[in-house]
Amino acid sequence: MSFVDFATGSLGQGLNNACGVAYSMKYFEKRNTKVYTLVGDAELAEGSNWEALNFAWKYNLNNFVGILDCNRLGQSDKTSVEHHLDVYEA
């Protein structure tokens, strides 16, 4: 698919890439463009995702949109948070 720039799978690097692209678009290229990323709930167990979200907050990346697929499925078992969306909202 031509609109997909990175396919990182379960490695937990999708948010990192998306935040980097959003930062570049906003501050270097000065483009009024949104950057979308789809992340699975199992990926959120990776600490690098929370660092990416902290980066997005710190640099006010209002051009970054994260979409969470909360399906409760990890690679070999259910996720620790399961379907408790209130935990993600908090």
pLDDT tens digits along 36-50: 988 887 777 778 888
Residue 35 domain-assigned? yes
Position 15 pLDDT exceeds 80: yes
Q: What is the pLDDT of residue 69?
A: 79
Residue 27 domain-assigned? yes
Residue 1 domain-assigned? no
40 three-class SS: strand
Residue 70 domain-assigned? yes
Residue 3 domain-assigned? no
Domain count, the chain: 1
Residue 17 domain-assigned? yes
Domain that holds residue 59: 9-89
